[in-house]
Structure 1
Amino acid sequence: MKQTTISIRIDDELKKEMEETCRELGLNITTAFTIFAKKMSREHRIPFEVSIDPFYSVNNLKAIDESIEQIKQGKVISKTMEELEAMENE
Protein backbone atom coordinates (compact mmCIF):
# COMPACT_ATOMS: atom_id res chain seq x y z
CA MET A 1 0.00 0.00 0.00
CA LYS A 2 1.39 3.40 -0.96
CA GLN A 3 2.03 5.67 2.01
CA THR A 4 1.90 9.44 2.40
CA THR A 5 3.13 11.92 4.97
CA ILE A 6 0.82 14.10 7.05
CA SER A 7 2.24 17.07 8.90
CA ILE A 8 0.40 18.45 11.95
CA ARG A 9 1.26 21.01 14.60
CA ILE A 10 0.63 20.33 18.27
CA ASP A 11 1.90 21.76 21.52
CA ASP A 12 5.40 20.45 22.36
CA GLU A 13 4.37 19.31 25.85
CA LEU A 14 1.32 17.48 24.45
CA LYS A 15 3.59 15.70 21.95
CA LYS A 16 5.91 14.57 24.75
CA GLU A 17 2.95 13.31 26.81
CA MET A 18 1.55 11.46 23.80
CA GLU A 19 4.93 9.90 23.03
CA GLU A 20 5.17 8.68 26.64
CA THR A 21 1.65 7.23 26.57
CA CYS A 22 2.32 5.55 23.23
CA ARG A 23 5.59 4.12 24.56
CA GLU A 24 3.75 2.69 27.59
CA LEU A 25 1.26 1.07 25.19
CA GLY A 26 4.03 -0.30 22.97
CA LEU A 27 3.16 2.05 20.11
CA ASN A 28 4.59 5.07 18.40
CA ILE A 29 2.72 8.23 17.39
CA THR A 30 2.44 7.12 13.75
CA THR A 31 0.75 3.87 14.79
CA ALA A 32 -1.58 5.70 17.20
CA PHE A 33 -2.69 8.12 14.47
CA THR A 34 -3.09 5.24 12.01
CA ILE A 35 -5.37 3.44 14.49
CA PHE A 36 -7.36 6.67 14.91
CA ALA A 37 -7.62 7.20 11.13
CA LYS A 38 -8.72 3.61 10.43
CA LYS A 39 -11.36 3.65 13.17
CA MET A 40 -12.66 7.05 12.06
CA SER A 41 -12.81 5.93 8.42
CA ARG A 42 -14.62 2.69 9.30
CA GLU A 43 -17.17 4.32 11.63
CA HIS A 44 -17.54 7.66 9.82
CA ARG A 45 -17.27 9.50 13.13
CA ILE A 46 -14.74 10.65 15.68
CA PRO A 47 -14.23 7.44 17.68
CA PHE A 48 -14.67 9.05 21.08
CA GLU A 49 -16.97 11.55 22.73
CA VAL A 50 -16.00 15.18 22.27
CA SER A 51 -17.33 17.40 25.04
CA ILE A 52 -16.42 20.37 27.15
CA ASP A 53 -15.16 19.61 30.63
CA PRO A 54 -17.46 21.66 32.91
CA PHE A 55 -14.55 22.12 35.33
CA TYR A 56 -13.08 24.68 32.93
CA SER A 57 -16.23 26.80 32.70
CA VAL A 58 -15.86 30.56 32.99
CA ASN A 59 -17.60 30.53 36.40
CA ASN A 60 -15.35 27.78 37.82
CA LEU A 61 -12.18 29.45 36.58
CA LYS A 62 -13.34 32.75 38.10
CA ALA A 63 -14.05 31.01 41.44
CA ILE A 64 -10.61 29.38 41.37
CA ASP A 65 -8.93 32.74 40.68
CA GLU A 66 -10.88 34.31 43.55
CA SER A 67 -9.87 31.46 45.89
CA ILE A 68 -6.21 31.83 44.91
CA GLU A 69 -6.40 35.55 45.63
CA GLN A 70 -7.98 34.89 49.06
CA ILE A 71 -5.18 32.44 49.88
CA LYS A 72 -2.56 34.98 48.82
CA GLN A 73 -4.20 37.54 51.11
CA GLY A 74 -4.19 35.10 54.02
CA LYS A 75 -7.99 34.88 54.16
CA VAL A 76 -7.96 31.19 54.97
CA ILE A 77 -9.80 29.26 57.65
CA SER A 78 -8.75 25.70 58.29
CA LYS A 79 -10.89 23.13 60.03
CA THR A 80 -10.41 19.45 60.78
CA MET A 81 -12.83 16.88 59.41
CA GLU A 82 -14.22 16.47 62.92
CA GLU A 83 -14.91 20.22 63.15
CA LEU A 84 -16.61 20.23 59.74
CA GLU A 85 -18.74 17.22 60.65
CA ALA A 86 -19.73 18.88 63.94
CA MET A 87 -20.77 22.01 62.05
CA GLU A 88 -22.89 19.86 59.73
CA ASN A 89 -24.72 18.31 62.70
CA GLU A 90 -25.57 21.66 64.32
Structure 2
Amino acid sequence: MKAMLLLVTALGLAMPAAAATPEEALTKGGCMACHAKDKKLVGPSFKDIAAKYKGQDPVAALSQKVRSGGKGVFGPIPMPPNGADKIADGDLKDSLIWILKQ
Protein backbone atom coordinates (compact mmCIF):
# COMPACT_ATOMS: atom_id res chain seq x y z
CA MET A 1 0.00 0.00 0.00
CA LYS A 2 2.81 2.39 0.90
CA ALA A 3 4.57 1.63 -2.41
CA MET A 4 1.37 2.38 -4.32
CA LEU A 5 0.99 5.71 -2.52
CA LEU A 6 4.58 6.60 -3.38
CA LEU A 7 3.99 5.68 -7.03
CA VAL A 8 0.83 7.77 -7.26
CA THR A 9 2.60 10.69 -5.59
CA ALA A 10 5.59 10.37 -7.92
CA LEU A 11 3.35 10.26 -10.98
CA GLY A 12 1.44 13.28 -9.78
CA LEU A 13 4.64 15.25 -9.39
CA ALA A 14 5.76 14.26 -12.88
CA MET A 15 2.60 15.61 -14.51
CA PRO A 16 2.62 19.28 -15.50
CA ALA A 17 0.37 21.41 -13.36
CA ALA A 18 -2.60 23.02 -15.02
CA ALA A 19 -2.57 26.79 -15.18
CA ALA A 20 -4.68 28.51 -12.54
CA THR A 21 -6.53 30.72 -15.03
CA PRO A 22 -7.03 30.79 -18.79
CA GLU A 23 -5.03 34.02 -18.97
CA GLU A 24 -2.09 32.33 -17.24
CA ALA A 25 -2.33 29.37 -19.62
CA LEU A 26 -2.31 31.72 -22.62
CA THR A 27 0.72 33.55 -21.25
CA LYS A 28 2.57 30.34 -20.39
CA GLY A 29 1.72 28.87 -23.81
CA GLY A 30 3.17 31.88 -25.64
CA CYS A 31 -0.18 32.96 -27.09
CA MET A 32 0.14 36.47 -25.66
CA ALA A 33 3.20 37.09 -27.83
CA CYS A 34 0.85 37.48 -30.81
CA HIS A 35 -2.61 38.05 -29.27
CA ALA A 36 -4.06 40.53 -26.78
CA LYS A 37 -7.45 40.77 -25.13
CA ASP A 38 -8.67 43.92 -26.84
CA LYS A 39 -6.22 44.95 -29.57
CA LYS A 40 -4.67 43.38 -32.65
CA LEU A 41 -1.01 42.52 -32.35
CA VAL A 42 0.44 40.03 -34.84
CA GLY A 43 -2.79 38.03 -34.59
CA PRO A 44 -6.36 39.10 -33.89
CA SER A 45 -7.50 40.23 -30.46
CA PHE A 46 -9.51 37.84 -28.33
CA LYS A 47 -12.47 40.21 -28.69
CA ASP A 48 -12.22 39.95 -32.50
CA ILE A 49 -12.08 36.16 -32.28
CA ALA A 50 -15.12 36.11 -29.99
CA ALA A 51 -17.05 38.43 -32.32
CA LYS A 52 -16.27 36.29 -35.38
CA TYR A 53 -17.55 33.12 -33.73
CA LYS A 54 -20.43 34.62 -31.73
CA GLY A 55 -23.40 32.27 -31.49
CA GLN A 56 -21.33 29.26 -32.53
CA ASP A 57 -19.60 26.48 -30.59
CA PRO A 58 -16.21 26.41 -32.33
CA VAL A 59 -14.07 25.08 -29.45
CA ALA A 60 -13.21 21.80 -31.21
CA ALA A 61 -12.48 23.52 -34.53
CA LEU A 62 -10.39 26.24 -32.89
CA SER A 63 -8.51 23.64 -30.83
CA GLN A 64 -7.59 21.89 -34.08
CA LYS A 65 -6.51 25.22 -35.60
CA VAL A 66 -4.27 25.96 -32.60
CA ARG A 67 -2.71 22.50 -32.82
CA SER A 68 -2.16 22.46 -36.61
CA GLY A 69 -1.74 26.19 -37.29
CA GLY A 70 -3.72 28.21 -39.76
CA LYS A 71 -3.87 31.22 -42.04
CA GLY A 72 -6.28 33.35 -43.96
CA VAL A 73 -9.11 33.65 -41.43
CA PHE A 74 -7.99 36.98 -39.96
CA GLY A 75 -5.46 38.02 -42.58
CA PRO A 76 -2.37 36.83 -44.41
CA ILE A 77 -0.11 36.19 -41.40
CA PRO A 78 -0.13 32.47 -40.58
CA MET A 79 -0.41 31.12 -37.05
CA PRO A 80 2.20 28.43 -36.37
CA PRO A 81 1.13 25.10 -34.87
CA ASN A 82 1.14 24.91 -31.08
CA GLY A 83 1.43 21.48 -29.51
CA ALA A 84 0.41 20.16 -26.11
CA ASP A 85 3.96 20.84 -24.94
CA LYS A 86 3.12 24.57 -25.09
CA ILE A 87 -0.46 24.49 -23.80
CA ALA A 88 -2.13 21.37 -22.39
CA ASP A 89 -5.41 20.16 -23.89
CA GLY A 90 -7.45 21.08 -20.81
CA ASP A 91 -5.87 24.52 -20.57
CA LEU A 92 -6.45 25.05 -24.29
CA LYS A 93 -10.14 24.18 -24.01
CA ASP A 94 -10.61 26.40 -20.93
CA SER A 95 -8.73 29.24 -22.65
CA LEU A 96 -10.83 29.01 -25.81
CA ILE A 97 -14.05 29.06 -23.79
CA TRP A 98 -12.71 32.15 -21.98
CA ILE A 99 -11.71 33.84 -25.27
CA LEU A 100 -15.15 33.23 -26.78
CA LYS A 101 -16.76 35.02 -23.80
CA GLN A 102 -14.82 38.25 -24.44
Fold match (TM-score > 0.5): no
TM-score by length of 2: 0.26
**Which structure exhibits the higher relative contact order, with contacts defined as CA atoms closer than 8 Å and separated by 6 or more residues?**
2
Larger radius of gyration: 1
Q: TM-score scaled by structure 1?
A: 0.28
